Amino acid sequence: MALAPEEFYQHALSVADDERRLPLARMTDWAGSPFEPGGLHVSPLRPPVLPEAHRADENADDCSACRRRDEGLWIDDHWRLGRMTEVGVPLVLMLYPRDHVDLGDLPDTRAAELGVLTAHIARHVEALPNVGRAHVYRIGDGGAHLHVWFFSRPLGQPQLRGSWLVVWDDLLPEYPDDTAQADAETVAAALADSYGGRVNA
C-alpha cells in the first residue's frame, strides 16, 4: 500500500535540509536539462493538503472541454483533436473524448480507440519535416475531462530530448503560429486518412 500523505511527507523530508529543501534532481545533471545546477534551489516541500482541491471541469454541466465538443482540427463520433497555441516547440496537440470522462472512466471500447488514436497521431506528428519525436503525456491534475498531450520535439535538438521537453517548451520563444497551424492541418488530414473521422473546418 502506498504511504499515507503524512508518511510520504516525512519520508521525503528525511533527505531535506533544515528549510525542507530536497537535493537537486538527478535530472538537473542530464545533458538535456535547461538549468545549470549551480544556481538552482529546490522550493521548500510543503506539508500535505487534504482534501485536495477540486480539478477544473469536474462537472459536465460547466465543463469547458464539453462546451467545445464540436471544435478542433479533427473530429469523429467519440474524439476531437485540437492545437494548443502560444507554445515554444513546433507543435502541441491535445486529444479529448467528446463525452465527459476521465481516463479511469473510459469504457473498454473507448480505451482501445485511445490506444490506436495515440499511435496514429504520434506517427503523423513524427512524419512532419523537422520533427524528431512526438512526446505523449496524460497528467490530469488540472482538469477532470481527459486530455492527452502530444508535444513535438524539434529535429536536431538533442538537448531537448526527454522529460525536460515540456519545460523547454515554456522557455522557448513562441513558435510561428502559421507554421504550426499548417503542420496541425497536415496531421489532421493524415489522421482522417489513416484512422477515419474528418478534418473539422
pLDDT in tens, 101-158: 999 999 999 999 999 999 999 999 999 999 999 999 999 999 999 999 999 999 999 9
- In the block, residue with C-alpha cell 506539508: 47
How many angstroms separate the CA atoms of 150 and 30, rounded?
22
pLDDT in tens, 23-62: 988 888 888 899 988 888 899 999 999 999 999 999 999 9
Does pTM top 0.85 for this prediction? yes
- What's the fold here for domain 69-199? HIT family, subunit A (3.30.428)
CATH 3.30.428.10 domain range(s) in the chain:
69-199
